[in-house]
Structure 1
Amino acid sequence: MDYFRILNLNKEPFSNSPEPGFFFQSMKHLGCLQKMELSVRLRRGLNVVIGDVGTGKTTLCRQLILKFSGSENDGNEIETHLLMDPGFTNPIEFLTAIAISFGIPASQSFESQWQFKENIKKYLLQKGIDEDKTVVLIIDEGQKLPDFCIEILREFLNYETNEFKLLQIVIFAQREFEQTLKNHNNFADRVNLFYYLKPLNFRETLGMVRYRIAKAGNTGKSPSLFTYPGLCALYFATKGYPRKIVTLCHQVILALIIQNRSKAGWFVVRSCVKRVSVIHKKGFGWIMAATITALSVVLISSAFFLVETADIKPAKTIQDMEAYRKKIPASKPVEPGLTQKDALQETAAQIPGETPVQEKIMPDLIGKFTIRDGETAWGILKDFYGDFDNELFKKVVLANPHIKNLNKITTGEVLNLPAISAESNPLPLGKYLVRVAADENIQKIYELYNEYKQLLPSLEFLPYWNRTEGMVFAIFLKDGYENTDSARSIIDKLPQPLALNASILGKSDDETLFFADKKDRRFRTK
């Protein structure tokens, strides 16, 4: 299926082949490439690049080869030779592979290691001194090199003039190769460049995804296939490993086509994680707590689920959201019964021109909660996070080093509530929702919830975050409703203080991050 055409793409953006045209020059990869190039040009000898599986070592290997073959001068002065799988069983196999790579003619006289080494030495002397060429031996999957190969490479590094090494060696390997270097100090001492290739950070992950989509897109029409929460979910799942990013992005794009969507948000990406075997889903729901601080400087874009109908009764939501979006004070209250369309037109009439959206920054804490008389940490956690286990409790303990014992928390102590996302969207999909109250003040909204929760068991306390509103503490009715009339009739039956501030929202989407996991309740998405 040419799915890329459906999404306004000219070609496959997330191929699992190391296509040179899709090489994303992150600071890590570009820095490594430049240092290797400089070392080779200066003929410094041995260079080692270490990285975990999927960090882009093979891609860098190909880029280095292309770098030296990209111009006529380099093509005449530098020759590269690649060994891709050095799992040799004996020295003769290894020496034969190198000789074949160098183009040394086979001969019956090659009967011993010494003869192989002498012919390779003559070849390097001819190329390095007589022809003034740089010979580069690049070894991928270097962790497979047996001990006898290390010793042979060490001997090759002894082939040198007074100014430079005759053979430049670049080894790309996984972490196991570090132990190999420790076991061979006389080889490790010859390492000129040692570069540890780390995974991408969030900004680089975002840049890589956008770069690949732009490269594959129609000129001037590169689609934005991921929301910011979707990119956040992508980073949490892949942890910045390029190979995992490519694999997961491919699955996400297939999901977009199957589900007839134009963008992938948080929950779409997470659903695809389960279908990608190379990405471990264990503990995925709690990754945010460990990584969110590093991402707090990044603007994570999201838009909340405003109702799409034209006959919402209370329009406080419209007033608040438009005030955020337009960056103006929400000074004029909206009369009950005013439609969404009318409210938007009235708001727009007060503004001569659009101003940029003021995006909120993702917090590392839901908030700080001051314990009142009679409250317990367990009760607070139950209300804020829904059903939770010991793992979540451990996260809360780590976020509160100032509290010695959460089981004996006292009145007046401040409880830090870490931002740990729900496992799924806790709102009923395709239903109209009644939001009874919402506020940025954690104490205010929680006190309101406690005041009415015994009288109205249908109330649900639900904290959430999006870039438009920021961190919001809200009270919803548990049930969703088929139409606005049924939702409005429920609002009319609420106590007057609640009915005045209640609002109707609809069609919960994939754009907002929630921090409550109501596993055994009707809010749980099946």
Structure 2
Amino acid sequence: MYTDFFGLSAKPFELLPNPKFIYLSKGHRKALSYLQYGVQERAGFTLLTGEVGSGKTTLIRDIVNKNCADATLAMIFNTRIDPRQLIAMVNEEFGLDAEGKDKPQLLRELNDFLIDEGSTGRQPIIIIDEAQNLSAEALEEVRLLSNLEADNFKLVQIILVGQPELKQLISQPELRQLRQRISLCCHLEPLSREETEEYILHRLATVGRRDCVTFMDGTMDLIFDFSGGIPRLINVICDFLLLSAFVEETFQISLDLVSEAVKELSFEEPESSPADESLTQASKDERLLQIEQKYDKLHVSRSEKESILERLESQGNILKYLINQQQKQFNHSEERLAEISAQIDYLRQEIQDECKSSATHEKLLLGNGKPGFL
């Protein structure tokens, strides 16, 4: 609803991983270069890790959109599965029927499919997001898939995407063979204070203009302190700020507005920040989840109010229309009444004229000595 108020073509801070909004910080640019190289050179295994909400999925979608015209993709997002289910999901993503088949049959059909794709010049790519949730057995099954290769190139390229604990998982002794297969590895760091500001302005410019609102002195510092440079948290607070500015009908983001937003989205804790290194990764993830859930509730509440306002505005417009219609009908009735009154006056005048004419004729007859008729 606030997009029209700020002159924007869309909401700039949606939580969806939309490549349209991709912002290449120093770390993101490096990761993107690694991923592009891996795809173009068919590097086999590529590993991408980063904190929750750091932009991993957005990078992957950008790579898919720009570099995979000749690729056949299998994208796996549900990773709390066993090895057989993993192979079945890969086959289904490649368009193969997996229902009712055991693992050896699934692997045979997958191997045949990959050979056929390679013979036609297409590049099969398996992208596994949230890979930190895979069991060691499932990861070993992924390694075995990489054994499928032709004489001079890999039949399939595998990109593992996950949170930092994925590195810890792969470092286990039983997965040393998988670790040795990874040819490219990159990690996404949170944005710096300067990158956070440029990220915000970049997303505003993508859907309109970067100066549609003015961030007062100190506001960017508060946003960075709250978000810790994590893009998803930056989106959460900035969307909240634009909605709050719209409600207050202002084009300035003040310190008070940001402080209020931080208070709404945060929780009562000792002096700390989401970027505090003393927090464990699990507590960081839990905090991010809680903030997103609270934001969703607040967003729904505000959306309900906006919906009620829209319905009231719509009803008001309908009433205005009905009143205008009634006014038009009333005006038409007045015009018709005036026409009828004019006709009555005309007929009355005609009758009066006829009466005068008859009276004159009678007098003439009487004057000539002829009897008149009453």
TM normalised by structure 2 equals: 0.68
Q: 2:95 aligns with which of 62, 84, 103?
A: 103
Offset at 1:232? 1.3
Match for residue 50 of structure 1?
49
1:205 and 2:196 are equivalent in the alignment: yes
> How far does the alpha carbon of each residue in 1:117-169 deviate from its partner, in whole angstroms, 9 at most, with x for none?
121111111212x1122111011111111122111111111112332211111
- 1:80, 1:138 within 8 Å by CA — same for their partners in 2? yes
**Please, which moves more after superposition, 193-202 or 117-126?**
117-126
1:233 and 2:222 are equivalent in the alignment: yes
- 1:61, 1:140 within 8 Å by CA — same for their partners in 2? no
Judged with a 3 Å threshold, the aligned counterparts in structure 2 of structure 1 residues 214 and 243 are, in CA distance, closer, same or farther, namely same
Q: 1:168 aligns with which of 157, 166, 186?
A: 157
Match for residue 6 of structure 1?
5
Report the 3-state secondary structure (helix = DSSP H, G, I; strand = E; otherwise coil) of the residue aligned with 2:201. helix
2:263, 2:123 → 1: CA distance? 48
> How far does the alpha carbon of each residue in 1:416-471 deviate from its partner, in whole angstroms, 9 at most, with x for none?
xxxxxxxxxxxxxxxxxxxxxxxxxxxxxxxxxxxxxxxxxxxxxxxxxxxxxxxx
After superposition, where does 1:142-221 map in structure 2 within 5 Å? 142-183=131-172, 184-217=175-208
Name the amino acid aligned to 1:103. Answer: G
> How far does the alpha carbon of each residue in 1:264-311 deviate from its partner, in whole angstroms, 9 at most, with x for none?
13332122112125x8864259999xxxxxxxxxxxxxxxxxxxxxxx
Name the amino acid aligned to 2:52. Answer: V
After superposition, where does 1:299-448 map in structure 2 within 5 Å? none
> How far does the alpha carbon of each residue in 1:480-501 deviate from its partner, in whole angstroms, 9 at most, with x for none?
xxxxxxxxxxxxxxxxxxxxxx
1:281, 1:18 → 2: CA distance? 30
Judged with a 3 Å threshold, the aligned counterparts in structure 2 of structure 1 residues 280 and 8 are, in CA distance, closer, same or farther, namely farther
Report the 3-state secondary structure (helix = DSSP H, G, I; strand = E; otherwise coil) of the residue aligned with 1:86. coil
Judged with a 3 Å threshold, the aligned counterparts in structure 2 of structure 1 residues 29 and 285 are, in CA distance, closer, same or farther, namely closer
Q: Where do 5+ consecutive residues of structure 1 fail to align?
A: 70-74, 289-526
Match for residue 72 of structure 2?
79
1:224 and 2:213 are equivalent in the alignment: yes
2:253, 2:53 → 1: CA distance? 23
1:253 and 2:246 are equivalent in the alignment: no
1:283 and 2:271 are equivalent in the alignment: yes
2:274, 2:90 → 1: CA distance? 48
Q: Where do 5+ consecutive residues of structure 2 fail to align?
A: 277-374
2:73, 2:273 → 1: CA distance? 46
Report the 3-state secondary structure (helix = DSSP H, G, I; strand = E; otherwise coil) of the residue aligned with 1:49. strand
Judged with a 3 Å threshold, the aligned counterparts in structure 2 of structure 1 residues 134 and 273 are, in CA distance, closer, same or farther, namely same
- 1:52, 1:174 within 8 Å by CA — same for their partners in 2? yes
- 2:226, 2:273 within 8 Å by CA — same for their partners in 1? no
Match for residue 72 of structure 1?
none
2:275, 2:110 → 1: CA distance? 52
1:161, 1:280 → 2: CA distance? 58
Name the amino acid aligned to 2:131. Answer: G
> How far does the alpha carbon of each residue in 1:220-244 deviate from its partner, in whole angstroms, 9 at most, with x for none?
x841332241111111111110000
- 1:182, 1:188 within 8 Å by CA — same for their partners in 2? yes
1:269, 1:14 → 2: CA distance? 16
Match for residue 112 of structure 2?
122
After superposition, where does 1:20-35 map in structure 2 within 5 Å? 20-35=19-34
- 2:241, 2:257 within 8 Å by CA — same for their partners in 1? yes
Report the 3-state secondary structure (helix = DSSP H, G, I; strand = E; otherwise coil) of the residue aligned with 2:63. helix
1:106, 1:14 → 2: CA distance? 39
Offset at 1:106? 4.3
1:286, 1:146 → 2: CA distance? 28
Name the amino acid aligned to 2:54. Answer: T
1:280, 1:155 → 2: CA distance? 48
Name the amino acid aligned to 1:68. Answer: N
Report the 3-state secondary structure (helix = DSSP H, G, I; strand = E; otherwise coil) of the residue aligned with 2:49. strand
Match for residue 367 of structure 2?
none
Name the amino acid aligned to 1:37. Answer: Q
Judged with a 3 Å threshold, the aligned counterparts in structure 2 of structure 1 residues 228 and 124 are, in CA distance, closer, same or farther, namely farther
- 1:28, 1:197 within 8 Å by CA — same for their partners in 2? yes
Question: Once superposed, what is the RMSD of the aligned Cα atoms?
Answer: 2.3
Equivalent pairs counted in the alignment come to 274
Report the 3-state secondary structure (helix = DSSP H, G, I; strand = E; otherwise coil) of the residue aligned with 2:251. coil
Q: Counting strand residues as a fraction of each chain, which structure ranks higher?
A: 1
2:272, 2:216 → 1: CA distance? 19
1:287, 1:117 → 2: CA distance? 44
Offset at 1:246? 0.1
Report the 3-state secondary structure (helix = DSSP H, G, I; strand = E; otherwise coil) of the residue aligned with 2:264. coil
1:91 and 2:83 are equivalent in the alignment: yes
2:114, 2:8 → 1: CA distance? 47
Identical amino acids, percent of aligned pairs = 25
Report the 3-state secondary structure (helix = DSSP H, G, I; strand = E; otherwise coil) of the residue aligned with 1:283. coil
- 1:9, 1:222 within 8 Å by CA — same for their partners in 2? no
1:21, 1:96 → 2: CA distance? 32
Name the amino acid aligned to 1:163. Answer: N
- 1:237, 1:284 within 8 Å by CA — same for their partners in 2? no
1:142, 1:280 → 2: CA distance? 33
- 1:24, 1:208 within 8 Å by CA — same for their partners in 2? yes
Judged with a 3 Å threshold, the aligned counterparts in structure 2 of structure 1 residues 59 and 98 are, in CA distance, closer, same or farther, namely same
Offset at 1:252? 1.1
Match for residue 134 of structure 1?
123
Report the 3-state secondary structure (helix = DSSP H, G, I; strand = E; otherwise coil) of the residue aligned with 1:189. helix
- 2:228, 2:274 within 8 Å by CA — same for their partners in 1? no
1:16 and 2:5 are equivalent in the alignment: no
- 2:75, 2:127 within 8 Å by CA — same for their partners in 1? yes
Structure possessing the higher relative contact order (Cα contacts under 8 Å, 6 or more residues apart): 2
